Structure 1
Amino acid sequence: MSEPLRLFLVDDEAPARTRLRNLLSDIAEEVPTTIVAEAHDGHSALALIQAHPCDIALVDIRMPGMDGVEFARHLARWPAAPAVIFVTAYDQYAVSAFELAVLDYLVKPVRAARLAVALQKAKRHPDEVERLEKSALATRQHLSCFERGRVLLVPVTDILYLKAEQKYVIARTAEREYLLEESLVKLEAEFAERFLRVHRNCLIAPGAVIGMQRASAEGEKDDFWQVMLSGINEHIPVSRRQWPLIKNLLKHGG
C-alpha cells in the first residue's frame, strides 16, 4: 500500500475545511491521505507549511489578506513545491479564467468523486511556476525572499526600487534590502503599473520619488541625473534614454 498523501488545507471558512476533512474520510480507501496542517489565509499558510511539508495543498481562491492565487505563486517557487488544487465557489465558467494558473480546481460544494480524481491527478503534477506566472489574475501583493531557511514576504507597496544584480534582484524598502530569485524583466511586466524603468537594470516606484539631482562620473564628459527616493540616502542613476520619461513624470507630479 502506498504512503498516504500529505495534505495542507487553506480556507478562511472553518465549515469548508470541515467538509473537506469529511470528504477525505469518505474516499480514504481509494485515496489514502493525512492532513498535516490547516490555515485560514495565505499569510499563515506560508508560515505553517514550512514546518509541515506536504504533497498537495487544497487552497481556497478568495481569502482575505493574501488570496489563493498569490499563495500558490509563492509556493510554486519553493524547492520540491507541493501540487496546488484550487477550491472555489465560482461555477465552471468563472473558473475557466484560472485555468492557466492551476493544476486542477474544485467547485464548491466539493463532491467526493471529483476530489478523488483531483488528488490522483495531483500525484503527477508538473512544474507549475510558468503557468502561474502567465495567469492574468496572479498579480501579487507581496514578493517572497528565502533567507536563512525562512520565507520572508515583502509588501509590493513598501518597495522603493528593484535592481538587477547578477542572478538576483534586490528589492529595496526604507528598512532594508531583500534578495529575490526573480527576473527583472518578468517583474516589470507583472508590475507595469507600479514600477518604472529608469535604467537597464533598475525599476523605481514613481510615488517614492522626491526629487532629482545632477551627478558626474569619472571619465564621462557629460553629467547625468539621479533619482532621489523617500526614506533612503541612496540615489538611482537615470539613463539618457529614460530621462525624458522621468522628467515628464516629475513635471506632472508622479
Structure 2
Amino acid sequence: MHILIVDDESLARSRLRRLVLDCDASHRVSEAEHAAGALALLQAPGGPAVELLLLDIRMPGMDGMVLARQLQALPTPPALVFVTAHAEHALGAFELDALDYLTKPVRLQRLQQALAKVQRSAALPAPARVSAVADDGPALLVHERGRTERVPLAEVLYLRAELKYVTVRAWARSHIVDEPLSELEARHAQHFVRVHRNTLVARHALRALVRHEGEEGEGWAVRLHGVPDPLPVSRRQVAAVREALAG
C-alpha cells in the first residue's frame, strides 16, 4: 500500500515509518507534518494515489478530525486510521468512518492488526457496488410479501431478534425473517459473531469496540462499517468481539 503518515512531530513520523516497514517492507510511505500539507498532496493532480492515512489528531492549524471530514469530499478517499495519544477522541473518530484507532506509543502487533483490517476492507464490496456481489455465495432466504428473496451474506451487516422475528439489516434495506436467532447463528457461525443476547453482527463489517453510554449506563458497543449508530455489546461477549476484531 501507499501510506501517508500525518503528524507534526518528526520523531513520531520516523518511528511510525519504521514500524510500517517492519510490518511489510514493500509498503510505500510518505509523510506530511501538518494536515494542510497532507490535503495538498491528496488533491494534487496526477499525484500518487494514497491508499491509507495514518493520521494524528492534535496538530497546529487544521487538526486531524477536520482533515478527516474534508477527506470525505474526495472522489476516492483513502482509508483512515487515527494514531494519537488522546484516547478520548475514539468515538468521534469512528463516526468519521475510521477503520481503526491506535494510541501512542504504537505497538508493532497492534499496527499489524490495523493494516490487516485496512487490506480486508479494501477487498470488500463498497456500499454503492454491493448489488454486484455474485449470487453464488452463501445467502439468507427471505420470504416477504408473497415472494422469496436471496440476500447474500456479504451484504448483511447484522441480525437482531425483535419479538417473534429477526431483522436482517443489509446494505440496501432491512428484511424480516421468521427464524430463531440461535438457528441462524448455528448455521452461519463463520460469518457472524454474537455481541448481545439478541444481536449477531457480520464479521466482515466489524470496525471497532468502543466504550459507550447507553440506557443501562456505561458499557461497550461495536461500530460497524455502514451503520451510523453503535450496537450494544454485553459484558460476557466483549472477549469474543475482541477476538473477532483481531482475526
Higher Cα radius of gyration: 1
TM-score (norm 2): 0.45
TM-score (norm 1): 0.44
